[in-house]
Chains A and B, each alone.
Chain A
Amino acid sequence: MFMHLAQTAKPKIETANKPLLNLSRRGFVGAGTGLALAVTLGACSQNKPETLAQAAAPIPDNSNIDIGPLVLISIAADGRTQITNPRSEMGQQVITTVAQMIADELDVPWDDLFIKQAVGDKKYGDQNTDGSTSVRNHFDRFRMAGASMRQMLTQAAANEWGVDISECTSELGVITHSSGKTLTYGDVSEAAGKLDVPAEDTVTLKTRSQWRYIGKDKPSYTISDVIRGKGTFGIDVRVPDMLYAVIARPPALFGKVKSLDDTAALAVPGVTQVVKMKEPEGEAPGFQQLGGVAVIATDTWAAIQGREALKIEWDAGPHKNYNSKTYAQELMATARQPGENKFKRGDVTKALSSAETMISADYYAAHLSQSPMEPPAATAQWTGDNVEIWACTQNPQAAQSTVAQICGVPDENVTVHVTLLGGGFGRKSKPDFVVEAALLAREVGKPVKVTWTREDDIKHGYFHSVSAQHMKGGLDKDGNVTAVLHRTVFPSINSTFGPSDQGSDFELSLGATDNPWNVPNMAVEVGKANSHIRIGWLRSVANVYHVFANQSFAAELAHAAGKDPKAFLMDIIGPDRIIDFSKDGVTYPNYGASLDEHPVDTKRLKAVLDKAATMAKWGRDVPKGHGLGIAVHRSFLAYVATAIEVAVDADGNISFPGIWSAVDAGTVVSPDNTKSQIEGGTLFGISNALYGEITATNGAVDQSNFPDWRVMRMAEAPHVFETHIMESEAPPAGVGEPGTPPAAPALANAIFAATGQRLRAMPLLGQNDRLDMSKVGEG
């Protein structure tokens, strides 16, 4: 997710956000692609057979060119255009979106496009597919690549005709001279490849009205394969002569194998070998393998059976005393004590003591698991000191450098092919599973695929952090908010990469120190917390718990003030303005973006709030047992408000008659996909809020599979989900994550409206997956 966090574990990656200006005389080179396996993604058109890519002559491949547009685009003599997608596809339709951005400026027919998936390589710039960055950080770069290439092709045609480029135009792969003569991109592609890449200031990007693909709905590039069962995910990779592995990992972090009896495992038909894994080093797990014992077999089922037959005695390791129940009490006790101030406006203590009404509330949110439907899986094959890897990774460059470091080979000896990802949600940013495959393949001397079972995924993840929060608010006699104190305590993601005993400023900026409320006295404090399991990022990260707390608390304040929660939210956000958090002592990271380009704009925040309320017909009479809740938040530069209607029956069963979201993500490249992301992000947030709880006993995670790690299913899904995209010409914002933060508080607020029961701990539902109706009315 966060560049700065990832950098604690690996060297800074050079990002090539702009086409470089170096000259190249190499042009288009070499035919044939380096793809040994089915990672080729076929033709763009939905109607073309999958075999077209194989049947036609190979498109010239620029994989040894490292400059400007040539690294992303190549064009065959017959006009077929290959775009190399450097970002990982995990369901956000990034392949389609990247193609839209490049092909629009290149101006080629959509059906002539072929997409190749890039391997992990610094020459592709930032490939860390995280933080909802693929459009917002690369919109200019991808468009510039397409436009630069178009200019080079046009120049090549002008050269061939001996005319000035100003006399030539280009459209949909055809260059036309003012005299009427034409050449196709394919006709001049070889000549164009020998030209200099134009300086950026000589390249003109299209105006908005000229956009052909940006802002239009294009069908998903992968759907044609997916519905036929043909896409290649990490777990699907097959290499000749390969073996299959599963690993028994230490139940608690940094646990070790004390004794091993593998006799029975080796007797399982198909099991070929049992390998003790290299143990992780140092104090912090980082992206290292976890250790344990691997079972290698001729098929995955045999490996699973073999693992069950292992007899392992574990040394529990340094975190054997981690028990979630005790830990939660400690976190909450810390949250009730003053912490380190991270946001200071006015005098909160004084304002609270002089308030007409003071309310306080404690919130808790459990650890969560990303649990993508495809568990982690990677395949590795060594040839001498070189290793080729196929993996469902969100961050192929981190996979490359981590494997290189742990295996003791140079980065360039490690080739990471990126497959389709069966969901990521942050889990697949961490290449520990890739390292396991590389270590095992070297040890075994054959290609090895490591598959994580669901139990492995849930017990040995990089968990979303557990948190306790304490909020206090003061109201004057008219019900205006005079003071808000927000204390938050959670083990930091930084603990995964080094010493850390407190939530980081970056995590605080996700929903706590970015609080846009127009309240004269406000403070945010953070308390100490050590971690005992691997903490990692999960879709929208610390926003999940921070926004659950402060958007729930806003509704609690509204209730105390006797006001409508939506009108109260509008009031507390206050007048239209651009917020400068530096006045409150906060150096606001703004998701890595410039505050000039992406200011925090309360007008946009209120506009989505108003829109979601209108969509939900806020203020209408609802049937008995129903309630409407609403929440709004800006994250990953996008503004999202969500209104949820819940229906709670007499037994405490919850259903969702409707959910309405409004999103302002600035310029949107792919509208229907943006709606899909908001729908998915919202349901992900609701699923986690209702059911999500990872706990540990003696350092080991208690949950194991979908019955005890429950996720939302069809019957629990909303009957209606409507998303509205606000018209905007602002620069693009993220869309993958911003749907998630408002979901949990909107849900809790809706449950309060329906039942009078204020739920302040996630998961909101108890062990029986129903509301405890005996508490209804306690408020």
Chain B
Amino acid sequence: MVQLTVNGKAQKIDIDPETPVLWVVREQLGLVGTKFGCGASLCGACTVHIDGEPVRSCVTPLSEAEGKDVTTIEGIAAPDGTLHAVQEAWIKHQVPQCGYCQSGQIMSAVALLKENANPSDEDIDSAMSGNVCRCGMYTRIKAAIKTAAKGA
């Protein structure tokens, strides 16, 4: 039994502790906003925050999250539903096409802006290059991150 907090809620999970956090949040907790894209920390679709740090949940065993705070895309907006500045910027720039990678993109962008409130193009390239968007919305993502930075 592994204990952790997910989006502010205490959880006890009874599963092989080697199971990646990705599959735990998706299949044990029903939080399917975190996506499976590669299973090998190569595409960023599975990005969540553990104790505020962005991690690739597809290669992070549940045991590493024991006793920690996990935040998924479902936990980024305020409890009253107010969207995060990054989410608002995503709407303003109409960033997503299919949207599948966007949970991970948003999680990476939120983490970036927390560390660096005014990122340069290079900072964005560096922080976001682990997140693949096959629809090719990179220029919109970059513009939206800058908008979110201004609003933050």
Contacts and interface: CB of A to CB of B under 8 A. Distances in A.
B23 A233 contact: no
Contact of B90 (A223, A713, A721): A223
A301 B21 CA distance: 10
Given A373-B134, A672-B94, 8 more contacts: A91-B96, A91-B98, A229-B73, A301-B27, A374-B35, A420-B98, A454-B37, A717-B136
30 contacts: A49-B81, A91-B96, A91-B99, A223-B91, A223-B99, A226-B99, A227-B91, A230-B33, A233-B35, A236-B32, A301-B19, A301-B27, A302-B16, A302-B19, A373-B98, A373-B101, A374-B35, A375-B37, A423-B100, A423-B135, A451-B36, A454-B42, A454-B43, A672-B94, A676-B140, A706-B42, A711-B134, A712-B136, A712-B138, A713-B131
Contacts of B19: 299, 301-302
Contacts of A424: 98
Contacts of A304: 39
B20 interface: yes
Interface of A: 46, 49, 89-93, 219-220, 222-233, 235-236, 238, 244, 269-270, 299-302, 304, 371-375, 420-425, 451, 453-455, 672-673, 676-677, 679-684, 687, 705-707, 711-715, 717-721
B120 interface: no
Interface in B1-59: 15-16, 19-20, 23, 26-28, 30-40, 42-43, 45
B10 to A, nearest CB: 20
**Top 8 closest A-B pairs, CB basis?**
A229-B33, A422-B100, A683-B136, A91-B98, A91-B97, A229-B73, A226-B99, A717-B138
Interface centre among B16, B37, B74, B135 (most CB of A within 10 A): B135
B97 A373 contact: no
A259 B102 CA distance: 42
B96 A714 contact: no
Interface in B80-133: 81, 83, 87, 90-91, 94-103, 106, 121, 124-126, 128-133
Contacts of B141: 714
A112 B108 CA distance: 34
B16 A270 contact: yes
B152 interface: no
Contacts of A706: 38, 40, 42-43, 132
B38 A684 contact: no
Contacts of B16: 269-270, 301-302
Contacts of B74: 228-230
Contacts of A302: 16, 19
Nearest to A304: B39
Nearest to A224: B91
A677 B140 CA distance: 12
A92 B27 contact: no
Given A228-B74, A374-B98, A713-B132, A718 B38 contact: no
A374 B100 contact: yes
Contacts of A673: 94
Contact of A235 (B15, B36, B43): B36
Contacts of A683: 136, 138
Given A301-B23, A680-B97, A705-B38, A219 B129 contact: no
Contacts of A455: 39
A217 B18 CA distance: 47
- Give the dominant DSSP class at A's interface: loop
Given A232-B32, A684-B134, A422 B42 contact: no
* Interface size range on B against A: 35 or more
A425 B100 CA distance: 14
A681 B57 CA distance: 29
Contacts of A679: 136-137, 139-140
Contacts of A93: 97
Given A301-B20, A301-B23, A302-B16, A90 B37 contact: no
Contacts, number: 195
Given A90-B98, A222-B99, A244-B27, A227 B106 contact: yes
B116 to A, nearest CB: 15
Contacts of B137: 676, 679-680
A376 to B, nearest CB: 12
A220 B94 contact: yes
A228 B91 CA distance: 11
A299 B15 contact: yes
Contacts of B77: 228
A713 B129 contact: yes
Contacts of A223: 90-91, 94-96, 99
Contact of B31 (A229, A232, A718, A719): A229
Given A229-B103, A299-B27, A422-B98, A373 B37 contact: yes
A687 B136 contact: yes
A93 B137 CA distance: 14
A226 B91 CA distance: 10
A451 B32 CA distance: 14
A715 B40 CA distance: 20
A2 B125 CA distance: 38
A714 B81 contact: no
A759 to B, nearest CB: 21
User: Which of B19, B73, B139 has the largest count of A CB atoms less than 10 A from its CB?
Assistant: B139
Most B CB within 10 A of own CB, among A92, A93, A231: A231
B43 A423 contact: no
Contacts of A219: 91, 94
Nearest to B99: A226
B37 to A, nearest CB: 5
B100 A373 contact: yes
Contacts of B106: 227
